[in-house]
Structure 1
Amino acid sequence: MVKFIVDCMLGKLARWLRISGYDTLYVRYLSDQKIIALARFEKRFILTRDREMQRLEPNLVCLIESLSLQEQLQEVFERFRLSPRLDESRCPHCNEVLVPISRDQAKKHIPLFVYQSFDKFTQCPSCQRVYWPGTHWQKITHLCQCVANKSE
């Protein structure tokens, strides 16, 4: 399974890769050399807009050219021959695999109208955030489908 490290230039991309089911570390305060060392140690590819980092380690670093999130996702999916795995989503905040929970388990973490409106919930085992397939999920699946269709 392909894993990534995304540097501070691509925070939105990191979140969307996590939502798309990919193990993605987001680093903000590490030097290029430390990012490269961590990528080697954990067998991760580095996604960045930093051309100097790519020159340092061209086999490990994928230079992301686009400024648009949709095009960035498409670049990654095409380069690594991936597609969204929305049924394996990770927490966009801490990268943990989300686990299904019951409505009753979710009740204490969500607003009443959400509890009354939805039946399926997932939770991050680390930060305890709860997620449900609201209108934001429709936008996520739409964007991922657009990216996947263009990558094929």
Structure 2
Amino acid sequence: MGFDEEWGLLRGQAAERQSTHMQLNGTGDGPLSGPGGKDFASTPAQKAAAANTIETELEPNTKKATDRADETSAAAVKEFDGWDTGAGLKKVMETWDKQVKVLMGRLSMEKGALRGASSLFAGNDQLIKSQFTPLLKPQPGPYASGLDGL
């Protein structure tokens, strides 16, 4: 058997093993969950806890780590002053500082969004309720259904 024949045989066997059909044997008990899984919803308390974690842990720890890295990098830049390595380290520090500012801004935005989400949802709920309130009140008169005798 030549190479081409053997290669063709092996490719055919591999294609047979890689079947593209799908078989669904069943689903789990209970309702199906969406893309976020069963724990998609969160409570206002969970949002507040996440915002507090950002404020009390992530932001201060990120700041500390950044300051520590800045001190070490600044010392390295001094040591390599006048060398291409020093110039490269200085450029890296500038980029690092920009990225840290973006990260700190993002953390702050997420914290604000988490804290604002509960009040936003509550406000939306009140708005929707106010739109339905006229429909929930009994209407006086012979055509209380609003169908005008139809």
TM-score category (smaller protein): under 0.3
Structure-1-length-normalised TM-score = 0.27
Q: Relative contact order, CA 8 A, sep 6+: which one is greater?
A: 2
If each structure's helix is expressed as a fraction of its own residues, which one has the higher value?
2
Of structures 1 and 2, the larger Rg is shown by 2
